[in-house]
Structures are given as structure tokens and as C-alpha cells.
Structure 1
Amino acid sequence: MTLKFIGIDPNTGDDESPTVWVDQETHELVLQGWKPGPELKAECAAFTMPGHAVGIPDHEAVIRIPARMVHMIREACDAVERADVR
């Protein structure tokens, strides 16, 4: 796996680091964020939609990303669409 660093939360401290990367091989976004609190996790786990299993599978995670990082996520999406991460 070859990750291209896109950005880190500009308000990050020593113990927090929400981060955005692009996987250059799979052309996927890789996000690091905060774990949700129990209430949000329960709400996400209870989400229902036709054709979608209820709950969060063990191999998946819900994370929180601050809104101030939206421009980084857009940049990562653009990089994947342009395929300039190859």
C-alpha cells in the first residue's frame, strides 16, 4: 500500500490527528478520525435501509471528521478521480 498524504486537521494537538490520505494502489480514501461516542455509535448501528444490514460489521468503523477538513476530503476525491495518485 502506498499512501499519499493529503492533510491533517489544522487544529490537531499532540494527542489527536484526524488525517486524510489516498491509497495510490486502490484509489481509495483513507481517513483517520475520532471514534464516536456511545450515543452516535448506537444511532449508526441502528440505521436501517433496504438492502443494508443493520449494525456496523466488525471489519468496518464509524469515525468523526471535523468539518474544517472538508477541503482535504475534496482534494482527496479529486486526486482519486483524476487518477493522479498513480
Structure 2
Amino acid sequence: MALRFVGKDPESGDHGSPAVWVDEVTKDLVIQGWRADDRTTRASAQDVAILSHETVVRVPKRMVPLLREALDVAELD
């Protein structure tokens, strides 16, 4: 799997999270974010089952431009 790095949260400084990649083969987005383990978020995210091997990830609004860029990369290749 070859991931193309799109970018990371401009406010994260030297820290690595959140970040966005595009899988160059499948065009899937790969997102690193903050695990949303607080009860309120998890209780609100029950529209679909969250299986034991899954989690909910929170990505800040300021990363929307990076997500759009990642979608464009996935679409163009």
C-alpha cells in the first residue's frame, strides 16, 4: 500500500495528528485524528454499529480544505 501524504492539521505544531493520506491504489482516504472516546460523542454516533475493531475519529473543521484536496487527489488519479 502506497500512501500519498496530503497534509496535517496546521495547528498541530510538531505533533502528528490529525493528518490525511490517499491510498494511491484504492483511492481510499486514510485519516489520523483524535479518538472520540467520550461518552457524549460515542452515544451520539450510534446511527450505525461501532464494532470492536472500529472507532470514531474526530477531525477538526479547519481540516476541511485538506479533506477536499484529498478527495480531489483520489478523484484525479
Displacement of 1:10 after TM fit? 0.6
Equivalent position of 1:79 in the other structure: 73
Equivalent position of 1:64 in the other structure: 58
Higher strand share: 2
Equivalent position of 1:2 in the other structure: 2
Distance 1:16 1:41 in 2: 24
Number of residue equivalences? 76
Gaps of 5+ in 1: 48-53
Could you tell me the TM-score, scaled by structure 1's length? 0.78
Shift of the 15–82 alpha-carbon distance from structure 1 to 2, 3 Å rule, reads closer
Larger radius of gyration: 1
Shift of the 21–38 alpha-carbon distance from structure 1 to 2, 3 Å rule, reads same
Could you tell me the TM-score, scaled by structure 2's length? 0.87
Gaps of 5+ in 2: none
Equivalent position of 1:50 in the other structure: none
